């Protein structure tokens, strides 16, 4: 049986970037309805509680945008899993913004 793409279901939300000075070379990109609440989840699992919300942008079809953005970033940055990228947070942010703008101009 073929795996169903999560992106077929329209789910609004915020694409976000989370960073930590403990892992300065890593940038986390994800999707959440409430990024600030999601941030609390990261800080719950680290003694330093130093994760910060670096960037967030609301998307009407957040699930699809997240899926496509992660695929795009995986072609540019080394990754340790699907959502953690070894790259400067500002450069990752610029790549996301440019990618989303290109997508909107092609719709």
Q: Which pLDDT tens digit goes with each residue over 3-46?
A: 455 556 789 999 999 999 999 999 999 999 999 999 999 999 88
Tokens of 24: 């300065």
Average pLDDT, the chain: 91
Q: How far is the first Cα of the chain from the last one, in angstroms, to the nearest whole number? A: 31
Looking at residue 6, its pLDDT comes to: 55
Looking at residue 107, its pLDDT comes to: 62
Looking at residue 2, its pLDDT comes to: 43
User: What's the DSSP call for residue 56?
Assistant: E
| CA atoms of 28 and 5, how far apart (whole Å) | 22
Tokens of 23: 């892992």
């Amino acid at each position: 049986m073929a795996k169903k793409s999560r992106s077929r279901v329209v789910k609004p939300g915020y694409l976000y970037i989370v960073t930590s000075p403990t892992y300065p070379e890593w940038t986390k990109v994800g999707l959440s309805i409430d990024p600030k609440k999601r941030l609390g989840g990261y800080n719950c699992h680290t003694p330093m509680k130093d994760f910060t919300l670096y960037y967030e942008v609301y998307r009407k079809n957040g699930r699809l945008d997240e899926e496509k953005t992660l695929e795009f970033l995986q072609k540019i940055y080394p990754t340790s899993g699907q959502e953690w990228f070894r790259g400067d947070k500002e450069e990752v942010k610029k790549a996301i913004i440019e990618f989303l703008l290109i997508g909107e101009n092609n719709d």
